[in-house]
Structure 1
């Protein structure tokens, strides 16, 4: 399995193939289209991420010391952004998630090309993922 840094470098290299932001947005949409659909049973108020302009659901499972995420959005760009974040953070230990920053977003220029509301929504998703990592780590430590 690739490290978080290796996955981020892979994303950076994929985006570096395009100079035009329309092409980069097409790549983001393509990533979202490849994201498996979230089962309707997980589209609950508890799984909605607050702070997002569009509806975003994030379902989390902690299995064998690793966090497994599923996500979906009703907006195609946001769904693609979710796919990128999950590529980096899915199937990781809490320590891996807590100890790594998402540098790929800045390096591909994403932070400069998202609207403020979309940026805030994406940050809300990342904060929620980190919150789950901290919560599951704490729960696992108490169980020991």
Structure 2
């Protein structure tokens, strides 16, 4: 019924991350883990006098902070290094499903499995029980967007 094509490039990956991270579970640091690592590290240094273990645990907390701070560039870099980067995705949408395929991956999501469709500033996020799928407004037409939103109301 609707067919769209778009390229998986760096701006698309950046937009995908920015729009979907707000809806995911990984948008806050792991405060409990950080507190636990630092507490155990300080206890190891001052209570047990095991400086190597304590320093290691505190360093793990620092690495966790860095991983959270740089999660966007790390995720985008991993996507850019994948085989699918730079390939053209063909998106087919009809009354029963959304189907996305490129030379390296095939993805199909039936409307029955879509739990919700969330509008963001730059696109749509399709949430299912397994994962989220992002569609940019730049990659789909207004008719396709309206059709997808109409499927949410059914």
Does TM-score exceed 0.5, indicating one fold? no
Larger Rg over CA atoms: 2
Q: TM-score range by the shorter chain?
A: under 0.3
Q: TM-score, normalised by structure 1?
A: 0.25
**Structure richer in strand, relative to its length:** 2
